[in-house]
């Protein structure tokens, strides 16, 4: 299923400036694997060494928190948003 | 002909009205940080008629601030005046009917409760996560609403935090990214327009809270991109295991988390040490810092020369700031270039 991922401005240095990434995936884990396949530098910013989601990296499906973590199903056409911690003032 | 009252254009709004304006005149709002976001938010709040403003900042005005920190001018930068003092002077001249109090202070776990006591709302305009976790602890402990705002590059976020009613900042980011893990405006850059956008959203929520219109406060996190014009609202949920808003354990406020700064005896240097050791990616940090100064990357440390200071940054997050005779200056430099 086609899923679009919004890359916020703070993370675009890891995606070569790309604002959106499209992948074919059924779960959130597959979505992220697809994104990291296209932009490997983003992996370390999002995942722990063990492969789990870092506590300071948030991911949302259609504007809400995934109920079952990385195993959450992502519907066709859904928008996934990545949110890093933003410190600047 | 009778003069039109000062707040006429605001009191005719159904969202404000005479009653809302009267509530604003009675309200106390703290702006924590008087850099880019704080300059804009404080200006809006002062002009809107918030009766009691507390402006808190540890820093002095520098030339490179003027691109986005709209309260300051070249004379402030030449004289290196404290931002809180310059901001208070300027806003008092804008609105003589309100009280504007400057606090030139390095906010830490020892003074934050005194600085915020009696506030109806706090606008977060700090430049580091350590201060935000500290603010969150103090705000949740005392039930003070606050409005998170963060900007970097061309994007930013904002979210109101209502203690006891929805998620707190620790629910949003349960774990501190730690020193050197996130980019700062000084290393990644910042477009001035996103500052105004995010700060205006923060000030809007602060005005609602100051007027007692809590039911109308936005509950989602707003993420916005000034360059593309795109934005998204994200629903954040309270975490059942949140140590702060559920467990009421205030580790930052108790001084158990965060960092310490120690003047090194006999040397013009200050050591900054995170209480929880970090795991810095030194080559990545060195790469980021190349944009701002002269950088040498060794296997054990990164050395940065910038603004006349020399920073030796180690993989555990510890840093020695040479040329900073004062702990407050050293903490500000560390937050600016390494990030807390």
Distance CA B282, CA B225 (A): 29
Of A55, A86, A88, nearest to B174 by CB-CB distance is A55
Residue of chain A with shortest Cα separation from B152: A88
Partners of B232 on chain A (C-beta within 8 Å) are 6, 63, 79, 81
pLDDT of B191 above 90 = yes
Q: pLDDT tens digit string along B240-267?
A: 999 999 999 999 999 988 888 887 776 7
Pairing, β B301-306 against β B309-314: antiparallel
> If you count DSSP H runs as helices and E runs as strands, how many of each does chain A have, helices first?
2, 4
Query: Looking at the domain B8-234, which fold is it?
Result: Rossmann fold (3.40.50)
Residue-level pLDDT at B266: 67
B172 touches chain A (CB under 8 A): yes
For chain B, domain boundaries: 8-234, 259-337
Q: Say yes or no for a CB contact (<8 Å) between B177 and A10.
A: no
Tell whether B184 is within 8 A of chain A (Cβ).
yes
| pLDDT over threshold 90, residue B236 | yes
- pLDDT band at residue B70, thresholds of 50, 70 and 90? very high
User: Cβ of A9 and B340 within 8 Å?
Assistant: no
Pairing of strands B231-234, B259-263: unpaired
Per the CB < 8 A criterion, the answer to whether A46 and A80 are in contact is no
**Shortest CA distance to B46 belongs to which of B63, B69, B24?**
B24
What is the pLDDT confidence band of residue B325, given thresholds at 50, 70 and 90? confident
Mean pLDDT to the nearest integer, B266-272: 80
Annotation: CATH topology of B259-337 = TATA-Binding Protein (3.30.310)
Measured in angstroms, the CA of B18 and the nearest CA of chain A are apart by: 33
What is the average per-residue pLDDT within B178-207?
Answer: 89
Higher pLDDT, B142 or B291: B142
The answer to whether the beta carbons of residues B28 and B54 sit under 8 Å apart is yes
In chain A, what residues touch B172 (CB-CB under 8 Å)? Answer: 58
Asked if the C-beta of A67 comes within 8 angstroms of chain B's C-beta atoms, the answer is: no
pLDDT for B205 beyond 70: yes
The reported pLDDT for the residue numbered B249 is 97
Q: Are B117 and B235 in contact (CB under 8 A)?
A: no
Question: Per-residue pLDDT for B45 more than 90?
Answer: yes
Q: Considering chain B, what percentage of its residues have pLDDT values greater than 70?
A: 99
Question: Which of the pair, B172 or B271, is modelled with greater confidence?
Answer: B172
Report chain B's mean pLDDT, rounded to a whole number: 93
Which among A54-58, B20-24, B61-65, B126-130 has the top mean pLDDT?
B20-24
Give, in order, the Cα–Cα distances in Å from B132 to each of A5, A89, B123, B172, B333. Answer: 28, 11, 11, 12, 17
**Alpha carbons B39 and B192: distance in angstroms, whole number:** 12
Domains of chain A: 2-83 (3.10.20.30)
pLDDT at position B225, please? Answer: 94
CA distance B142 to chain A (A): 24
> Is the predicted pLDDT of residue B83 greater than 90, yes or no?
yes
**pLDDT score for B32:** 98
CA dist list (Å): B209 to A12, B32, B166, B199, B213? 34, 16, 15, 15, 6
B295: confidence class by pLDDT, cuts 50, 70, 90: very high
> What's the whole-number mean pLDDT along residues B151-160?
95
Cβ-defined contact of B185 to A89 (cutoff 8 Å): yes
| pLDDT above 80 for B198 | yes
Q: A12 vs B126: CB contact, 8 Å cut-off?
A: no
The ipTM estimated for the assembled molecules is 0.94
- State yes or no: pLDDT of B148 exceeds 80: yes
Residue A65 with chain B: CB contacts under 8 Å: 235-237
> How high is the mean pLDDT in each 10-residue block of chain A (89 residues)?
90 89 92 94 86 87 92 91 88
Same fold yes or no, B8-234 and B259-337: no
- pLDDT tens, position by position, B159-179: 999 999 999 999 999 987 777
pLDDT digits (tens, 9 = 90+) for B94-117: 999 999 999 999 899 999 999 999
Q: For the stretch B10-32, what's the b/e string if a residue is b when 16 or more beta carbons lie within 10 angstroms of its beta carbon?
A: bbeeeebeeebbebbeebbbbbb
């Amino acid at each position: 299923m086609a899923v679009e991922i919004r890359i916020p401005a703070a993370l675009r240095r890891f995606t070569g400036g790309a604002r959106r990434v499209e992948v074919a995936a059924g779960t959130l884990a597959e979505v992220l694997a697809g994104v990291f396949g296209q932009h490997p530098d983003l992996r370390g910013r999002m995942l722990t060494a063990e492969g789990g989601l870092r506590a300071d990296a948030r991911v949302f499906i259609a504007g809400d928190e995934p109920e079952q973590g990385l195993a959450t199903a992502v519907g066709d056409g859904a928008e996934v948003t990545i949110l890093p911690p933003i410190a600047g003032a | 002909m009778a003069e039109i009252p000062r707040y006429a254009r605001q009191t005719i709004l159904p969202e404000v009205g005479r009653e809302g304006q009267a509530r604003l005149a009675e309200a106390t709002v703290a702006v924590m940080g008087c850099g880019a976001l704080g300059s804009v938010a404080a200006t809006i709040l002062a002009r809107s008629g918030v009766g009691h403003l507390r402006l808190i900042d540890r820093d002095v005005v520098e030339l490179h601030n003027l691109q986005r920190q709209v309260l300051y001018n070249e004379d402030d930068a030449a004289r290196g005046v404290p931002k809180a003092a310059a901001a208070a002077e300027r806003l008092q001249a804008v609105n003589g009917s309100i009280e504007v109090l400057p606090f030139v202070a390095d906010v830490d776990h020892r003074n934050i409760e005194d600085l915020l006591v009696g506030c109806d709302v706090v606008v977060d305009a700090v430049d580091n996560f350590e201060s935000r976790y500290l603010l969150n602890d103090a705000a949740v402990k005392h039930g003070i609403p606050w409005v998170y705002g963060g900007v970097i590059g061309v994007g930013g976020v904002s979210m109101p935090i209502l203690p006891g009613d929805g998620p707190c900042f620790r629910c949003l980011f349960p774990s501190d990214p730690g020193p050197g893990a996130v980019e700062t405006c000084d290393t990644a850059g910042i477009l001035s327009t996103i500052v105004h956008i995010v700060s205006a959203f923060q000030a809007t929520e602060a005005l609602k809270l100051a007027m007692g219109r809590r039911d109308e406060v936005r509950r989602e996190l707003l993420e916005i991109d000034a360059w593309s014009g795109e934005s998204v609202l994200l629903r954040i949920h309270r975490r059942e295991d949140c140590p702060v808003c559920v467990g009421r354990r205030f580790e930052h406020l108790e001084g158990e988390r965060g960092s310490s700064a120690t003047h090194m005896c006999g040397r013009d240097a200050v050591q900054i040490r995170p209480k929880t050791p970090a795991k810095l990616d030194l080559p990545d940090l060195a790469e980021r810092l190349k944009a701002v100064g002269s950088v040498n990357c060794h296997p054990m440390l990164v050395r940065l020369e910038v603004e006349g200071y020399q920073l030796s940054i180690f993989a555990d997050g510890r840093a020695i700031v040479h040329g900073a005779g004062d702990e407050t200056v050293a903490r500000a430099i560390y937050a600016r270039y390494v990030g807390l």
